[in-house]
Structure 1
Amino acid sequence: MTGYTFSLIGEYLAGQVDSYFAVLTRTFLAALVFLPFLRRRWLNWKLAIQLMLIGAIQLGVMYIFYYRSFLLLTVPEVLIFTIFTPIYITLYYDWLARRFSPYYLLTAVLSVIGAALIRYDALTSDYLLGFLVVQGANICFAIGQVAYKQLLAKQTEQPPHLAIFGCFHLGALLVSVLSWFLFGKAHYPEHPTQWAILIWLGAGASGLGYFLWNKGATLVNAGALAIMNNALIPAGLIVNLLIWNRDTNLLKLLTGGGVILLSLYLNERYTRRRKP
């Protein structure tokens, strides 16, 4: 998720629109986009339930943590605390494989350092709870990516992602409906801009964005997947700079981006050397 999306949530939704309603809207719109593409030929009950569980964790529960964090932290603090996801991906992937890959962990940590060089800003004095909430979101996001990658790798006949991905969003929608019913408040969007942002975040960022991201996760190794979670940060800043003309510290961007690219290079070099 780019810095521009973070800013949209922080400026227009956080504290103004009920976070559970925002999550419900996003997951509903994402499901609405992909449910028509479901195909029974590629789905069985076991696969459908597994996809729903992955979507419930990676999107549904993650969004609940994520939106709550904006009530506890400033936007820059949320941004800096999201950079630890590569470490969780590496550790979870190794745990599933019953192994430990120190080199992948090293490159993941290197990508975290690169992202920190770009994102670090002054922190408020009371941020511990917010930090823990963001880590909850990071862990859910990491588990979902690895689980989706592993699930698709185990299929004897590879299904088209488009034909099954609606189940992913359906799982997220079920979590968001339940959480809104239990904890939601009557704080709904009052301005067309807020509705427009929710529509974009639902159909675009949540719908198409997660489809492309998870599909890409199945095409790369675990180390590259971990690093690319932080490679989004310089990419998002470049987009903001070129399209939205936002102020960006070019020195921090180039330095941190260079470290992330170095971590990706080292990861790919190590992966190639491991192949027979």
Structure 2
Amino acid sequence: MIYLVSVTVLWAFSFSLIGVYLAGQVDPYFAVLSRILLAVLLFSPMLLRYRFSLNLVLPVIGLGAVQLGLMYLFYYQSFLLLSVAEVLVFTIFTPLYITLLHDLLARRFNPQFLLAAVIAVLAAALMRYQSVSSQYWTGFAIVQGANLCFAMGQVGYKRLLAAHPGVTQYQLFGWFYVGAAMIAIPAWLILGGSQYPTTTLHWAVLLWLGLIASGLGYYGWNKGATEVSSGMLAVMNNALIPAGLLVNIIIWQRDTALMRLSIGCAMIGFSIWLCRKPTGRGG
């Protein structure tokens, strides 16, 4: 649990750093590539030193490609259409995807998660009901792509490591970033623009995001995912929302409709309660 809490605090700052200093200023595909390559560099000593069988390495590569590579491509595009607060709000669906995916793979279903999804949609609409636009709904759809990728990676990694309990995870995890790089490199070559970092601040933010938020953050988060139940993992995915909003409001003093935000957050809190781990259920 300590891993998930620590990374939640760490990532709370990442949303605002991307939205304030990178979105619209640095090509999103270059930003994604930079973060992933820095994470590969951080774990390269383990990649060179330790050897694992292909039946373990290849799934980790695949999970990295989805959870980090594809997710980042969706994620960075969303900041071009939405505010930081909106991106945070729309991540509320990730816990639902996690629990539904986990139930699907375990061949079980709980209808309370559908109710939670409806409440979450209403909460998101409430926070922006006065200015719904084509960009708003496009951004919403893009964030859901990121949420699905993130959820699939977490559930897949949790199940994979449950089948290999003796693995020392930090020795293996570099392959996760290799998989992400296999998506980020061609995406940048094909879709990337020429909007590169131009200031020391841009590079400093990218270094922080690559080495700390991505390199240490994703390792800590996925390791934490293997140590808690699927219900707790789902709930912790939503803990980032109030943490990120708090950072965005206090440090950058973004204007927010506090009444609608409060009501929406209360509805999100209820959806989190609905996504709690049911008593007596495994996983």
Go from structure 1 to structure 2 and tell me whether the alpha carbon gap of 1:4 and 1:249 turns closer, same or farther (over 3 Å shift): farther
Of 164, 178, 184, the residue aligned with 1:170 is 178
Q: How many Å separate the matches in 2 of 1:123 and 1:216?
A: 38
Q: How many Å separate the matches in 1 of 2:144 and 2:274?
A: 26
1:158 is aligned to 166
Of 164, 170, 184, the residue aligned with 2:192 is 184
Of 40, 43, 52, the residue aligned with 2:61 is 52
Q: How many Å separate the matches in 2 of 1:232 and 1:75?
A: 13
Of 125, 129, 134, the residue aligned with 2:143 is 134
User: Quick check: 1:74 aligned with 2:54?
Assistant: no
User: Shift of the alpha carbon at 1:74?
Assistant: 2.7
- Paired residue secondary structure (1:270): coil
Of 207, 211, 218, the residue aligned with 1:210 is 218
Alpha-carbon RMSD: 3.0
| Superposition TM-score, scaled by structure 2 size | 0.81
Deviations 1:128-181 (A, max 9, x none): 2221111111110110010000110111x4211111110101111111011111
8 Å Cα contact 2:127/2:264 also seen in 1 = no
8 Å Cα contact 1:51/1:168 also seen in 2 = yes
User: Shift of the alpha carbon at 1:203?
Assistant: 0.7
Q: How many Å separate the matches in 2 of 1:169 and 1:221?
A: 24
Q: How many Å separate the matches in 1 of 2:195 and 2:95?
A: 34
Q: How many Å separate the matches in 2 of 1:208 and 1:115?
A: 32
Deviations 1:11-66 (A, max 9, x none): 2211211111000000001111122124535x211111100100000000000011
User: Quick check: 1:19 aligned with 2:19?
Assistant: no
Q: How many Å separate the matches in 1 of 2:190 and 2:252?
A: 41
User: Shift of the alpha carbon at 1:8?
Assistant: 1.7
8 Å Cα contact 2:60/2:175 also seen in 1 = yes
Deviations 1:179-230 (A, max 9, x none): 1111111211000000000110111111111111111111111121111111
1:198 is aligned to 206
Go from structure 1 to structure 2 and tell me whether the alpha carbon gap of 1:268 and 1:13 turns closer, same or farther (over 3 Å shift): closer
User: Shift of the alpha carbon at 1:3?
Assistant: 4.9
User: Shift of the alpha carbon at 1:239?
Assistant: 5.6
User: Quick check: 1:40 aligned with 2:50?
Assistant: yes
1:120 is aligned to 127
Q: How many Å separate the matches in 1 of 2:22 and 2:252?
A: 22
2:3 is aligned to none
User: Shift of the alpha carbon at 1:260?
Assistant: 6.4
Go from structure 1 to structure 2 and tell me whether the alpha carbon gap of 1:250 and 1:185 turns closer, same or farther (over 3 Å shift): closer
- Paired residue secondary structure (1:16): coil
Deviations 1:79-106 (A, max 9, x none): 2222111111111111211221335666
More divergent stretch after superposition (197-206 vs 249-258): 249-258
Q: How many Å separate the matches in 2 of 1:219 and 1:87?
A: 19
8 Å Cα contact 2:65/2:183 also seen in 1 = yes
Q: How many Å separate the matches in 2 of 1:176 and 1:114?
A: 34
How many aligned residue pairs are there?
269
8 Å Cα contact 1:231/1:260 also seen in 2 = no
8 Å Cα contact 2:16/2:248 also seen in 1 = no
Instruction: State the identity %.
Output: 52
| Superposition TM-score, scaled by structure 1 size | 0.83
More divergent stretch after superposition (61-70 vs 260-269): 260-269
8 Å Cα contact 1:114/1:258 also seen in 2 = no
- Paired residue secondary structure (2:278): helix
8 Å Cα contact 2:95/2:275 also seen in 1 = no
More divergent stretch after superposition (16-25 vs 231-240): 231-240
